[in-house]
Amino acid sequence: MAAASGRRGAPVRLDGLRKDFGSSVAVDNLSLEVGAGEFLTLLGPSGSGKSTTLLMIAGFVAPTRGEVFVSGKPITRKAPHERDIGIVFQHYALFPHLKVFDNVAFPLKMRQQPAARIAERVAWALDLVRLGDLGSRYPHQLSGGQQQRVALARALVFEPSLLLMDEPLGALDRRLRETMQGELKRLQRALDLTVICVTHDQEEALTLSDRIAVMNHGRVEQLGTPEELYERPQTPFVAEFLGESNALAARVLRRDESRAVVRTTQGLDMVVAGAAPAGEGEVRLAIRPERIEFLQEGEARDNVADAKIDEVVYLGDAVRYLLRIPSGETLIVKARSVAGGGPRMGDAVRVGWSADAVLVYAGAGAASANGLPPPPKAGEGRGRG
């Protein structure tokens, strides 16, 4: 790698950004700060406002209200070409009529740099993404991974103060994604880049980001490190969107300072840790599939239930089970795969989970996170608390 530039990424601040499209609100009062050299991902389903936010930062969509600051200076009224922001587009948007060299040289030519300087910088950028010898190819002669690298080189060659990425790895196959994730992270650290990335892919978000902002309906549901978001999701939406969750609706039966007993709509009682939301009201529960364990004879947990295995999906390193418990609830359980096989379809098993595996949220209604229809009411069976 040639000498890296002396410039480091700039801090970015979004202040009360809002975008209305007609009567619908695409982005609603969005404020967040991205530190210099930080990798922040906007994660959310389509229609959550993450792409609109990116377009507002880039300058292709004018916010209805609010301001974008880069290095403390407002840029909201600048045209896109004056913003000094590198963008890696979805599907890369390489110029098909220009060779790789000219694609990467494009931003320097637009800045009227002398030819010698351009040659030197392009060589640096292509080396950076390990494509030093492909300068004379056309984009359509490259593989998807190589096109991705050219897009990255082109966005970095003019040393922008900020790098935006739109679903950067979405079009690559799985192996290539993993390699590119590593490369991206390495580059971002080496060049001290500030990166704002937009994706709907939770795995991409978890592996790349310093912090993730989970977006829904134009708002940030939760902002935090990948670990915080996964371990302590603050809303059912985050619990369901990031990783898998068993979502259940329940009512608080009784409580003390450290625990509470709740009963699900289908009549499964369970102990939950922590201060459940105050009041007698209804609550929503979320349990990570990997926090539910199969129990041997005589083993005990805070919550135990008998179950029948309805479905087994072998994932390689893990196995995903769909269980039905006598009360009629359906539970997803994920366990590490064992040589020789674990429980099989139709087996009667006993499962258990600790009180602190249950995340409790105020509010009524079960959100079906895993996309399953609500299980049919079956019998009057009752789980043990």
Q: Which is nearer to another protein, 171 or 349 (CB)?
A: 171
- 148 vs 245, which CB is nearer to another protein? 148
Q: Are 327 and 244 in contact (CB under 8 A)?
A: no
Cβ nearer to another protein, comparing 79 with 338: 79
C-beta closer to another protein: residue 44 or 86: 86
Smallest distance from another protein to CB 140, Å: 5
Q: Tell me the C-alpha distance between 229 and 250, whole Å.
A: 23
Please report how close the Cβ of residue 107 comes to another protein at its closest, in angstroms.
4
Between 112 and 296, CB nearer to another protein: 112
Q: How far is the CB of 87 from another protein (least distance, A)?
A: 4
Residues forming a β-bridge with 385: none
What b/e string do you get for 279-306 counting C-beta neighbours within 10 Å, with b at 16 or more? eeebbbbbbbbbbbbbbeeeeebbbbbe
* Shortest Cβ 80–another protein spacing (Å): 4
**Sequence-distant (≥ 6) Cβ neighbours of residue 47 within 8 angstroms:** none
C-alpha 205/C-alpha 40 separation (Å) is 9
User: Measuring CA to CA, which residue among 110, 103, 107, 97 is closest to residue 126?
Assistant: 103
Q: Which is nearer to another protein, 60 or 314 (CB)?
A: 60
Distance in Å, CB of 112 to another protein, minimum: 10
Residues in contact with another protein by CB under 8 A are: 58-60, 79-81, 83-87, 89-91, 93-97, 106-107, 109-111, 138, 140, 154-155, 158
To the nearest whole angstrom, how small is the minimum distance from the Cβ of residue 135 to another protein?
17
Nearer to another protein, 95 or 314 (CB): 95
Alpha helix segments (H runs only) across the chain: 50-58, 100-110, 115-128, 144-156, 174-191, 202-208, 226-231, 236-241
Q: How far is the CB of 109 from another protein (least distance, A)?
A: 8
Alpha-carbon distance 383 to 385, whole Å?
A: 6
Task: Please name the residues in contact with 325: beta carbons below 8 A apart, sequence gap of 6 or more.
Answer: 268, 305, 306, 307, 308, 331, 381, 383
Q: Give CA 71 to chain center in angstroms.
A: 26
Asked if 81 and 89 count as a contact pair (C-beta separation under 8 A), the reply is: no
